[in-house]
Structure 1
Amino acid sequence: MLNGGLQKASALLNMRVDKHSPLPCLAPEQTLLDKAEALALPPVIIGMMTAASMQSLGHHIEHREALTVECWVTSGLSNVRRVGDKADDHAVPGTINICLYINQALSDAALAEALILLTESKVTAIRDAEIISPVSGLPASGTGTDSHAVFCPDAEPQHAYCGKHTTLGELIGRVVLQACSISLNHCLRSLTESS
C-alpha cells in the first residue's frame, strides 16, 4: 500500500488494523507513514496493512552455504477468493501478507521471478489446505487484498534468475510454502476454535 513496486527501502511495516473499527479518515498511505514516523522507522518504508491476528504469523528460514532465504506470513481468510472470481468492488478485512528476504543481491528480473515463485508457493499452500472460495465454490488462490514484498541487498546482483531449477528457486519455494502453511494452519485453527 505504501511505496509498492521496485524500491530501495530501509524498512518494512506490516501494520495491524482492527477489523471491527473503521480506519482513520486518512488515506492508507498517510496512516502507514504516520505509524512509521511514530516507530522512528528510517525512510524509505514499504508499508502493508492487515486485520489478521499477529497470532497467525508463520515464519521459516533455510540456509544453503552462504545463501539464506527467510519468510514471514500473516493470514486472514475472511476475504478469500479464487483468481477470476466475480468482482464485487467491496473488500473486507482478511489478507495474506508475505515478506520474503534473500541475503544475496538479485537482478531486477530475478526479483520479479522471486515474486512469481512466492505467489505460486502461496497458492500451493492454500490448495494444500483445501481452502474454497465462497464466491465460486472452487479452490481458492488467495484473498482479494494480499500484499507481498521481496527484499534483498542493494548490491551487484549475485543471481540473474531464480527459477525452480536453481538452488535459490528451491529455497524460495520451500520457505514460502512452509511459512504460508504455518500461518494458514494458525488461522484455520483460530476460526475452528471461534465457531
Structure 2
Amino acid sequence: MTAADGARAWRRWSARDDLPSAAVQSIPAALVLPGWQAGVADSGLAVAFDRPWHCLSSAVAGGGWGTAQGFANRHVDDHDRAALNTPQTLIADFAVQRGLAAPCVGMLTAASMRSLRIATVDIEGELVCVFVTAGLANARRAGDCADRRELRPGPCEVGTINLALATTLALTPAAQVETLTTLTEAKAATLQSLDARSPLSNAIATGTGTDATAVFCADTGEALPYTGKHTLFGEYAARLVIDALTDAIRPQSGWVDGC
C-alpha cells in the first residue's frame, strides 16, 4: 500500500472471527455508507438504508435498475432447496425477519457467511465499499457447456460469488453499467490469480454459475459519467474486489489489520 493509499483510509472487515452465530453481529459503521446499518448472522447479511439509493443489479430479487431501501444476501441451506423456485419469497421473508424496508435488493448463496468480507476506501471525501461472499463449488469459465440444456431451466446448483459495491457518489446509468463490468473483470482477475479452475473444462474459472452483482449509488449530486479502468474510481473499485475476494477464498491472518 502506498502513502497515497494510506491517506485514503482503506478499511477492512471480516466475518470470519464473528461467526458461526445465530445472533446478528453488527458491522462497524465506518465500513458502510453514512446512514446505513449492517449486520450479519449465519442466516445472511442484511443492510438497511436510511433512504432510497439507486441500484443496478443481477440480483434474484429486486434486480435490474431501480431504487432500494435495503440489501440482503441470504444464506440457503439444503432445507431451502424446495423454495429456490421462488427466490423472491425467500428474500422477502428474510427481509421481514431482519427489519429491512421494501423495496429490497436480494441475493442468495450457499456460501458460508464466514466468507463475508467488506473493504472500504475514502477517495476525496467520497466512500466506495464492497461486500463479498464467496463459494467455488459451482465454479465455471465463461463459455463452459451449460449444465442445463433448455432455455428456461429450474434452479441451478449453488456455490456463489456475490458482490455488491456501494458509493456515496452519484453515477450515470452508463457508469453503473461500466462499474458492473469492472467488478466482473476484477472477479475474473482474482480467480485467475488464485488459479481457480472450472471442474467442467479445467480451465481457469471466471466466476460461478450463479453469481450476482450489484452497484448502489447516491441519487443526488453531480454524477460521474465514467468509471472504467482509466479512472481512479475504476481502479479502486477493482482493487477493493480483488482484495476482499482473495481473502474470502483464501483467508490470510491479519487481513483486517491493513492492506
TM value normalised by structure 2:
0.69
Give CA-to-partner distance per residue, 1:29-55, whole Å, 9 cap, x none: 111112112222111100000110011
- In structure 2, the residue matched to 1:190 is none
Give CA-to-partner distance per residue, 1:129-168, whole Å, 9 cap, x none: 0001110111110000001111111124430111111111
Structure 1 residue ranges without an equivalent (≥5) = 187-195
Amino acid in the other structure paired with 1:168: F
Q: Over aligned residues, Cα RMSD in angstroms?
A: 1.6
CA distance in 2, matches of 1:57, 1:37: 21
User: Once the 2 structures are TM-superposed, how far is the Cα of residue 67 of structure 1 from its aligned partner?
Assistant: 2.2
Mean Cα displacement is larger for which, 132-141 or 35-44? 35-44
Amino acid in the other structure paired with 1:74: T
- In structure 2, the residue matched to 1:50 is 109
- In structure 2, the residue matched to 1:21 is 79
CA distance in 2, matches of 1:57, 1:35: 17
- In structure 2, the residue matched to 1:153 is 218
Higher share of residues assigned strand: 2
Which consecutive segments of 4 or more residues in structure 1 shift more than 2 A? 20-26
Match runs of 1:165-184 below 5 Å: 165-184=230-249
CA distance in 2, matches of 1:144, 1:69: 27
Q: Is the 8 A contact 2:191 2:207 kept in 1?
A: yes
Aligned length: 186
CA distance in 1, matches of 2:102, 2:184: 27
Amino acid in the other structure paired with 1:112: V
Amino acid in the other structure paired with 1:41: L
User: Once the 2 structures are TM-superposed, how far is the Cα of residue 24 of structure 1 from its aligned partner?
Assistant: 4.6
Match runs of 1:14-163 below 5 Å: 14-18=73-77, 20-25=78-83, 27-89=86-148, 91-163=156-228
Identical positions, percent: 38
Q: Is the 8 A contact 1:8 1:154 kept in 2?
A: no
TM value normalised by structure 1:
0.90
Amino acid in the other structure paired with 1:17: V
Structure 2 residue ranges without an equivalent (≥5) = 1-59, 149-154, 252-259
CA distance in 2, matches of 1:185, 1:61: 19
Amino acid in the other structure paired with 1:174: R
